[in-house]
Amino acid sequence: MSEKKDLNIGLVGYGFMGRTHSNAYCKVSNFFDLEYRPRLKAVCGRSEDNAKAFAAQWGYESVETDWKALVARDDIDAIDICTPNNTHAEIAIAAAKAGKMILCEKPLSMNTAEGEEMVKKIEEAGVANTVWYNYRRVPAVTLAKQLIDEGRLGKIFHYRANFLQDWTISTDLPQGGAALWRLDVNAAGSGVTGDLLAHCIDTAIWLNGGITDVSAMTETFIKERMHNLTGKVEKVGIDDACTFMCHFGNGSLGLFESTRYARGHKALYTLEINGEHASIRWDLHDLHRLEYFDHRDDSLVRGWRSVHVTDGDMPYMDKWWVPGLQIGYEHTFVHQVADFLEGLAKGQPTSPTFAEALETQKVCDAVLSSAASKQWVNV
Ligand code: SOE
């Protein structure tokens, strides 16, 4: 493919996620031969100095300090939302009204009602959209999807997932403001449920189908923290830890756990699926491997295989190096951009769309509601 069409990106927010997405835009056209090529047109942030520094670092052509000005620009095709959760809806709805495509960080929204409004407005506008649930596009996870869809596991009985971290254990850690908005319920909507379990739920729905009902418990271990924006000690409104069990529509049972209080774990996302014939498991800390056990193997050599997902016939891997050489976390974002650009060329949606990410939001809401009521809750 020779003649490339520019897709002008307007990025809102320049934190951790702004960096992962910018990196993906910079790399994608070097590795994927696609009709569209992202062009880093503008980055938007409230601090002009920081926005300019970010633009210089990543190669953005211009800066804005008001997202409304960015959305109003004629030279922007797609708005990428990398700001705290409480701003997603307003920016996405305005971007849709302006006819912009939208790539939105996860979770979609603060809650289901807000998410429903976003989906309605985005669908009315008919703009291309996707939500950055990046772990689907770890090649080993995408391979798991392939194996499940091929029926290799047979009937699925169990789905288990954990997302464990340990960065909020100190009582001195404040809430609110840059980097720490994830601890502020007014900015984040929830704690580990929306931040970490949402990843696990998105992958689970993708791999194993819809979740019908949940029974959950949550805990907030540190009840008060200094708030960076008010300077006062304030009640902590987020869940520090959450565990839930659930039923899937296909009859299997789910067990999920997430916490920011698992000392020793920085970002341990693991999943295991047990089927009638075979099981698979995956671990983010060893992300290029997919563990596979098949009961149909000859019993003398039957056991867990550790598949090194680097061969060219494995998902996405023909685009990278040579068999045996690995890729990592940042490539999942490159894959999502590549899929988005390919979808654009073919006129097809890129999963998860806003409508699909709303299903994850509904499960998160049911989980929080079940924890509050101590009852099973239907999704
Ligand atoms: C939280 O620490 C966090 O950065 C999440 O917000 C991301 O979604 C997750 O991928 C890693 O952990």
Strands 241-248 and 211-219 turn out to be: antiparallel
Using only C-alpha atoms, the chain has a radius of gyration, in whole angstroms, of 21
The mean pLDDT value of the chain amounts to 98
CA 206 – CA 137 distance, rounded (Å): 11
227 pLDDT exceeds 60?
yes
Only one residue has tokens 């069409």, namely 5
Closest atom of ligand 1 to CA, residue 134: 10
Q: Do the beta carbons of residue 166 and residue 262 sit within 8 Å?
A: yes
Ligand 1 centroid–CA 230 distance in Å is: 25
**Given this model, what pLDDT does residue 3 score?**
86
97 sits in the region (left: phi over 0; alpha: psi -120 to 50; else beta) called: alpha
Please tell me the predicted confidence (pLDDT) of residue 303. Answer: 98
Give the DSSP H or E segment for 102. strand 101-105
Identify whether residues 327 and 306 lie together within a single domain.
Answer: yes
Q: Which residues contact 125 (CB under 8 A, 6 or more apart)?
A: 96, 97, 99
If pLDDT is split at 50, 70 and 90, which confidence band does 1 have? low
pLDDT of residue 2: 64
Integer angstrom CA distances of residue 322 from 201, 310, 319, 325 = 32, 8, 9, 6
Q: Return the CATH number at 169.
A: 3.30.360.10
Tens-place pLDDT, residues 35-56? 999 999 999 999 999 999 999 9
Provide the domain limits for residue 16.
5-134
Same domain assignment for residues 119 and 92: yes
Model pLDDT, residue 179: 86
180 and 319 belong to one structural domain? yes
Residue 10: which CATH number?
Answer: 3.40.50.720
Instruction: Judge whether 175 and 167 are in contact, CB under 8 Å.
Output: no
Which residue type sits at 322?
Answer: V
Whole-angstrom CA distances from 111 to 67, 114, 115, 183 are 22, 6, 6, 16
Instruction: Name the 3-class secondary structure at 346.
Output: helix
**d(CA 136, ligand 1 centre) in Å:** 14
> 104 pairs with which residues across the strands?
81, 131
The last residue of one of the domains, among 134, 152, 173, is 134
Backbone torsions φ then ψ of 107, nearest 5 degrees? -70, 165
From CA 151, how far away is CA 105, in angstroms rounded?
32
CB contact set of 82 (below 8 Å; sequence gap of 6+): 11, 12, 13, 14, 15, 17, 18, 21, 105
User: For the chain, what percent of residues have pLDDT higher than 90?
Assistant: 99
| 158 and 112, same domain (yes or no) | no
Query: What is the amino acid identity at position 285?
Result: H
Pair 193, 330 in one domain: yes
**pLDDT, tens digit, for every residue of 335-373?**
999 999 999 999 999 999 999 999 999 999 999 999 999
Mean pLDDT, residues 6-26: 98
Name the domain count of the chain.
2
- Report how far ligand 1's centroid is from the alpha carbon of 173 (Å): 17
pLDDT tens for residues 69-113? 999 999 999 999 999 999 999 999 999 999 999 999 999 999 999
Helix (H, G, I), strand (E, B) or coil at 349: coil
- Whose alpha carbon is nearest atom 9 of ligand 1? 196
pLDDT per residue as tens digits for the range 103-152: 999 999 999 999 999 999 999 999 999 999 999 999 999 999 999 999 99
Q: Say how many Å lie between the CA of residue 199 and the centre of ligand 1.
A: 9
Q: Are residues 106 and 236 in the same domain?
A: no
